[in-house]
Amino acid sequence: MRKHKWMIKNGSFAVLENEKSTLRGYMVVEDHLITYIGEEEPQVDENTEIIDGTHLFFMPGLVNTHGHTAMSLLRGYGDDLALQVWLQEKMWPMEAKFTADDVYWGTSLSVIEMLKGGTTTFLDMYDHMDQVAAVTEQSGMRGVLTRGVIGLCPPDVQNHKLAEAIAFAKDWHGKAGGRITTMISPHAPYTCPPDYIEKFVQAAHDLDLPIHTHMSETAAEVEQNVQDYGLRPVAHLQKLGVFSRPTLVAHAVHLTNEEIDILAAHQVTVSHNPGSNLKLASGVARVPELLKAGVTVSLGTDGPASNNNLDMFEEMRLAALIHKGVTGDPTAIPAAEALRMGTVYGAKSLFLEGLGTLAAGMKADFIALNTDQAHFLPHTDFISHAVYSASAKDVEHVWVDGKQVVKNGVCLTLDEEKIRREAQSAFERLLTL
């Protein structure tokens, strides 16, 4: 089959791996891959489709490394509460009523928000994952999907949930033209007994998949872990063999220096969720120290009920700002580093290869921002503007795997009006139950 080849000309591009952080010029895409990026105009045949990139800033698609997207149905339902109260009194009772349909519409609502806001890859840890996979497949987005399992239940229910997690991971890994990959997820050390976590480690070994879990989100949870098991969560998970697999932990807010060293030594990656951590008053993760120790730190929104949007520009900005504020060092997380956390470190955190930068040979997941706006002027430094001035609303076009999924701010793959209507009625139905 003939390759679909096209070229963007006169665009500004983020190239974070070079000394220079942006270049003005050309980018060529063939099928799923970027094959050229540079200032020199490349030779292309006359059949090559040309897109004018003037007034656009192209950057890698954003990678959201932690979330529970169907929780968009509970956005605004329980705010301004501590994590355990919020979970036990607000979220869990409502989530227990979620049907597969609810998850389908909640996920669709989140996926459309994410795609239109420039997020091209998302991690989702939830239940009814077949629905999440169906939405991912349909939307054209890239998804790292995992059935998150809470093990506070009798052994037969535990076994059933584990089998479900394994079946999902097996069935969907590599599907949707490779856009869907899977992981294995015990929800957290405080929701899964140790022997149960060990079964997930075994499953991850058997399937050769990474592990994803929540870890050390709140001080209370760390304290409880010490009381219950005599160890802080990092040593606890290490003892259970979790870090013998490639592992991504969400939050990692409360860490000692020794724990940072253990994470670095095992190449455990971290999803930093500044918006969610601030909203639930969980604390501020030691991100500059983690990065300094060589840990890959990426960004996640967490579920839309604890954020409450899925705007990854906001997470980049928060990551850049709060660590300056907390450390008293304005150089703590520079704009370019925040942008890397939102893109290439995201791909690394999810153990995805060939993703997260604009360079020849990389997967063609990228977005274009409209720079013809007041808050993008003057045209001094687009990396700075993307982190300190932009928001999801500035995203004009989005491509995933070389295919355009958002054009002029409109999602081409999903029916937004229908999704908005169905999501609202799903919430109203849940309230009556």
244 SS3 class: helix
The stretch near Zn ion (CB under 5 A) out of 223-231, 253-261, 277-285, 297-305 is 297-305
Contact predicate 182/209, CB 8 Å: yes
Nearest to Zn ion of 22, 107 (CB atom): 107
| Six-digit token string for 319 | 């990551």
- Distance between CA 343 and CA 120 in Å, rounded? 10
**Least CB distance to Zn ion at residue 271 (A):** 9
Strands (E), 326-365: none
- Distance between CA 392 and CA 377 in Å, rounded? 17
Specify the amino acid at residue 427: F
Q: Judged by CB under 5 A, how many residues of this single chain contact Zn ion?
A: 1
Nearest to Zn ion of 113, 302 (CB atom): 302
Contacts of 298 (CB under 8 A, 6+ apart): 63, 65, 269, 270, 271, 272, 341, 342, 345, 346, 348, 349, 350
**Least CB distance to Zn ion at residue 275 (A):** 12
128 SS3 class: coil
**Least CB distance to Zn ion at residue 129 (A):** 15
**Least CB distance to Zn ion at residue 391 (A):** 23
Angle at 262 between CA 284 and CA 303, to 5 degrees: 40
Distance linking the first and last C-alpha atoms of the chain: 53
| Six-digit token string for 59 | 């950057």
Question: Which residue number has the CB closest to Zn ion?
Answer: 302
Nearest to Zn ion of 127, 302 (CB atom): 302
The stretch near Zn ion (CB under 5 A) out of 31-39, 153-161, 203-211, 295-303 is 295-303
Nearest to Zn ion of 302, 422 (CB atom): 302
The stretch near Zn ion (CB under 5 A) out of 49-57, 81-89, 159-167, 296-304 is 296-304
- For β-strands 49-52 and 403-407, DSSP reports them as unpaired
Nearest to Zn ion of 302, 311 (CB atom): 302
The backbone torsions φ and ψ at residue 231, rounded to the nearest 5 degrees and listed phi first, read -140, 150
Give the contact letters, 302-341, x = binds to Zn ion (CB under 5 A), - = no. x---------------------------------------
**Least CB distance to Zn ion at residue 412 (A):** 29
Query: What sign does the dihedral 101-107-111-114 (CA atoms) show?
Result: positive
Contact predicate 313/117, CB 8 Å: yes
**Least CB distance to Zn ion at residue 4 (A):** 37
Nearest to Zn ion of 302, 394 (CB atom): 302
Nearest to Zn ion of 12, 301 (CB atom): 301
Nearest to Zn ion of 95, 302 (CB atom): 302
The stretch near Zn ion (CB under 5 A) out of 114-122, 253-261, 301-309, 366-374 is 301-309
The stretch near Zn ion (CB under 5 A) out of 41-49, 104-112, 299-307, 345-353 is 299-307
**Least CB distance to Zn ion at residue 125 (A):** 7
**Least CB distance to Zn ion at residue 226 (A):** 22
Phi/psi zone of residue 215: left (φ > 0), alpha (ψ -120 to 50 degrees), beta?
beta
150-209: contacts with Zn ion (CB under 5 A): none
Contact predicate 282/88, CB 8 Å: no
Interacting residues with Zn ion (CB under 5 A): 302
